[in-house]
């Protein structure tokens, strides 16, 4: 038991690559590395010989949760190694077997990587999986054996593979996408690649001289795509094609097919050692943009999967918490009354020049000039059309400024400070409960609006989206009057002074309300949470 505890503790003590860099020599080497004395076969240097992917964990995680490829490490029989980073920079060193000693008696062997006499990483010899060595502090990095590589031949020693591996990924992606277009067009009997010659019933002649046999076409598929996509397309070939008199014929079909529009350029995102993603800058009216996942297979970059659709859908952030953006934002321009009101669920209202737009925030990946992803927040009104406005998502430490870009014009918005005793969400919640107490009718929706004099109007609605009444309130006291009969209200006394916020969102609606219902500065639609 003591030895097990010591071994676990040593994992936390063994320094390794920091997450931000591939190699960081921040540990001084021992004056003389301890000589390796093999006590069992697991400490033999041959166990670490081979071609390894070096992977680091994402920030705040460990390798069991998420990893990022950071380079290759090639360990040779003589105990030397070569580390090659993502940019192709190489660094050499040696691997030795050393021991961590605990309590003066427990010696735990580990493979220690040295370069220029400086310690880089270490991984304990006795690990469960001989193809995965956890390295670093608390599982922040790992070495994963690259099974696809030959034990005797390094990938960079094969010129044609090295050329393809290091080629411009945009050019490679465009070329493979064009080849994929050829596959789709021929398999679907496009007139661009076929001609009717009435020799084979229900088939047309393939005019592309590269393909005279089914085998030719299958080989082209295998050179272009990989994985399940390859297997699926190849399995269709025998049903799709036939050969006659030294020529290839394809069955006629009456269906459309997707093609990548590569003419406007390609963006390469998320590049890694064995894969990357490419998306077409241009799209078409029928299918939109195309996105392809690439994997390195048999010495070539090949398409492993693809999808197509609107840019906003393809580049959407899977989940985004809008709560940090929730609040009221005023344009920081003298004389401007433009106000952006954001709810925690991402619904918004935008008031400008006496008009109000309602909609929903969409988080999506934007690309900078280097095709690096950053998260942008776009305002989409009416749930269907773009509002043609957005801003870069602020970081956690700077959530009091928004630079809204609306059709090329950037304006600065600042968050309204919490100066009132009650937030508008609390006032809306109390108004709903007060109205139910007075009338027996529970409003379904509420539209809180901040007026020019800083009072708050809460318009309440029934299930048919018709206005029931409105409260005009002082946000510091919760007192005011009803719009319908001017009767006084004191929500902290009559309404339920609950601090709970209304949560789930309904579609925002631009409703015109007369008199006190009119929006003076900003507003937002709200729907109460379902009763538990």
CATH number, domain with residue 366: 2.40.128.50
The answer to whether position 532 is within a domain reads no
Residue 298 sits in a domain whose CATH number is: 3.10.450
Same domain? 141 vs 179: no
Give the least confident one: 86-100, 154-168, 291-305, 378-392: 154-168
The answer to whether position 291 is within a domain reads yes
Same domain? 100 vs 41: yes
Model pLDDT, residue 131? 84
- Spatial CA neighbour of 342 closest among 373, 385, 378, 311: 378
**To the nearest whole number, what is the mean pLDDT of the chain?**
77
Q: How confident is the model at residue 310 (pLDDT cuts 50, 70, 90)?
A: confident
Same domain? 147 vs 42: yes
CA 72/CA 67 separation, integer angstroms:
14
Answer with the one of 123, 141, 156 that is the final residue of a domain: 156
Same domain? 139 vs 15: yes
The answer to whether position 231 is within a domain reads yes
Answer yes or no: are the C-beta atoms of 375 and 320 closer than 8 Å: yes
261: pLDDT strictly greater than 60: yes
157: pLDDT strictly greater than 50: no
Rounded to an integer, the average pLDDT of 261-277 is 87
The answer to whether position 435 is within a domain reads yes
Q: Say whether 528 sits in a helix, a strand or coil.
A: coil
Looking at the structure of the chain, the number of domains it has is 4
Model pLDDT, residue 138? 65
210: pLDDT strictly greater than 70: yes
Model pLDDT, residue 526? 34
Model pLDDT, residue 198? 83
Model pLDDT, residue 155? 45
List the domain range (segments joined by +) for residue 195: 159-268+276-314
Same domain? 84 vs 12: yes
Model pLDDT, residue 452? 62
Give the least confident one: 100-104, 228-232, 410-414: 100-104
Model pLDDT, residue 307? 94
Phi, psi of 67 (to 5 degrees): -130, 155
Model pLDDT, residue 499? 32
**144-173 b/e with 16+ CB inside 10 Å = b?**
bbbeebeeeebbbeeeebeeebeeebbebb
Residue 40 contacts by C-beta under 8 Å, 6 or more apart in sequence?
Answer: none
How far from 311 is each of 133, 289, 393, 449, CA to CA, in Å? 40, 6, 18, 34
Model pLDDT, residue 101? 74
161: pLDDT strictly greater than 60: no
How far from 517 is each of 356, 426, 459, 476, 513, CA to CA, in Å? 13, 19, 6, 20, 5
Same domain? 362 vs 498: no
CA angle 388-389-393, nearest 5°?
140
Give the least confident one: 33-37, 195-199, 276-280: 33-37
Same domain? 180 vs 301: yes
**Comparison of pLDDT for 112 and 343, the residue scoring more:** 112
Rounded to an integer, the average pLDDT of 345-350 is 83
527: pLDDT strictly greater than 60: no
Model pLDDT, residue 102? 65
The answer to whether position 366 is within a domain reads yes
Same domain? 201 vs 130: no
Q: How confident is the model at residue 386 (pLDDT cuts 50, 70, 90)?
A: low
Same domain? 410 vs 504: no
Alpha helices in 247-392 (DSSP H): 311-314
Model pLDDT, residue 29? 37
Answer with the one of 134, 156, 178 that is the final residue of a domain: 156
The answer to whether position 465 is within a domain reads yes
Listing from the earlier edge strand, what are the strands of the sheet with 80-84?
118-124, 106-115, 90-102, 80-84, 67-75, 50-57, 141-145, 132-135
Q: How confident is the model at residue 177 (pLDDT cuts 50, 70, 90)?
A: very high
List, for residues 486-520, the tens digit of each pLDDT value: 999 998 887 644 332 222 222 222 222 332 233 32
Rounded to an integer, the average pLDDT of 314-331 is 87
Model pLDDT, residue 189? 93
Model pLDDT, residue 399? 82
35: pLDDT strictly greater than 50: no
Rounded to an integer, the average pLDDT of 24-46 is 50
Q: How confident is the model at residue 46 (pLDDT cuts 50, 70, 90)?
A: confident
The answer to whether position 214 is within a domain reads yes
Model pLDDT, residue 30? 38
Answer yes or no: are the C-beta atoms of 490 and 478 closer than 8 Å: yes
Same domain? 250 vs 386: no
CA 179/CA 201 separation, integer angstroms:
27
Model pLDDT, residue 136? 67
Rounded to an integer, the average pLDDT of 285-302 is 89
List, for residues 325-337, the tens digit of each pLDDT value: 888 888 888 878 7
Same domain? 309 vs 329: no
Same domain? 165 vs 213: yes
Phi, psi of 201 (to 5 degrees): -60, 135
Q: How confident is the model at residue 3 (pLDDT cuts 50, 70, 90)?
A: very low
CA 83/CA 454 separation, integer angstroms:
63
CA 216/CA 213 separation, integer angstroms:
5
Phi, psi of 4 (to 5 degrees): -65, -45
Check residue 254 and give left, alpha or beta (phi > 0: left; psi -120 to 50: alpha).
Answer: beta
- Spatial CA neighbour of 113 closest among 89, 144, 84, 82: 82
The whole model's pTM is what? 0.53
Answer with the one of 260, 290, 314 that is the final residue of a domain: 314
Model pLDDT, residue 523? 33
The answer to whether position 358 is within a domain reads yes
């Amino acid at each position: 038991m003591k030895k097990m505890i010591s071994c676990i503790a040593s994992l936390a003590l063994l320094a390794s690559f920091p997450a931000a860099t591939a190699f960081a020599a921040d540990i001084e080497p021992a004056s003389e590395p301890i000589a390796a004395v093999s006590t069992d076969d697991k400490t033999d240097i041959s166990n670490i010989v081979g071609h390894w992917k070096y992977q680091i964990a994402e920030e705040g995680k460990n390798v069991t949760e998420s990893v990022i490829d950071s380079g290759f490490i090639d360990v040779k029989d003589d105990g030397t190694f070569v580390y090659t980073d993502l940019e192709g920079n190489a660094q050499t060193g040696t691997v030795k077997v050393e021991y961590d000693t605990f309590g003066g008696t427990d010696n735990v062997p580990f493979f220690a990587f040295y370069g220029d006499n400086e310690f880089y990483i270490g991984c304990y010899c006795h690990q469960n999986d001989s193809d995965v060595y956890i390295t670093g502090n608390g599982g922040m990095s790992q070495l994963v054996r690259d099974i696809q590589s030959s034990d005797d031949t390094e990938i960079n020693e094969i010129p044609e593979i090295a050329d393809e591996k290091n080629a411009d990924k945009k050019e490679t992606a465009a070329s493979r996408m064009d080849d994929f277009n050829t596959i789709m067009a021929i398999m679907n009997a496009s007139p661009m690649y076929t001609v009717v010659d009435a020799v084979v019933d229900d088939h047309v002649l393939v005019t592309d001289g590269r393909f005279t046999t089914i085998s030719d076409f299958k080989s082209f598929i295998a050179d272009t795509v990989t994985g399940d996509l390859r297997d699926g397309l190849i399995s269709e070939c025998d049903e799709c094609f036939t050969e006659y008199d030294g020529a290839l014929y394809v069955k006629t079909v009456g269906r459309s097919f997707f093609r990548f529009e590569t003419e406007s350029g390609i963006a390469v995102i998320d590049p890694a050692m064995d894969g990357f993603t490419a998306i077409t800058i241009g799209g078409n009216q029928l299918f939109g943009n195309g996105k392809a996942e690439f994997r390195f297979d048999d010495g070539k970059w090949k398409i492993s999967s693809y999808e197509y659709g609107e840019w906003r859908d393809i580049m959407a952030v899977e989940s985004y918490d809008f709560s940090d953006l929730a609040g009221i934002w005023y344009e920081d321009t003298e004389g401007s009354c433009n106000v952006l009101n954001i709810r925690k669920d991402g619904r918004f209202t935008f008031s400008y020049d006496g008009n109000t737009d309602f909609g929903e925030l969409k988080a999506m990946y934007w690309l900078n000039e280097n095709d690096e992803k950053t998260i942008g927040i776009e305002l989409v009104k009416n749930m269907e059309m773009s509002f043609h406005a957005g801003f870069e998502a602020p970081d956690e430490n700077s959530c009091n400024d928004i630079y809204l870009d609306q059709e090329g014009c950037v304006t600065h918005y600042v968050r309204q400070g919490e100066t009132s005793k009650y937030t508008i969400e609390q006032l809306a919640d109390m108004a709903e409960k007060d109205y139910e107490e007075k009338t027996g009718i529970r409003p379904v929706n509420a539209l809180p609006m901040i007026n020019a004099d800083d009072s708050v109007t809460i318009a309440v609605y029934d299930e048919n989206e018709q206005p029931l009444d409105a409260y005009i309130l002082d946000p510091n006291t919760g007192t005011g009057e009803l719009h319908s009969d001017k009767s006084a209200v004191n929500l902290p006394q009559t309404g339920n002074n609950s601090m709970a916020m209304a949560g789930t969102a309904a579609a925002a609606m631009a409703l015109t309300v007369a008199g006190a219902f009119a929006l003076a500065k900003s507003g937002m639609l709200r729907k109460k949470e379902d009763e538990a």
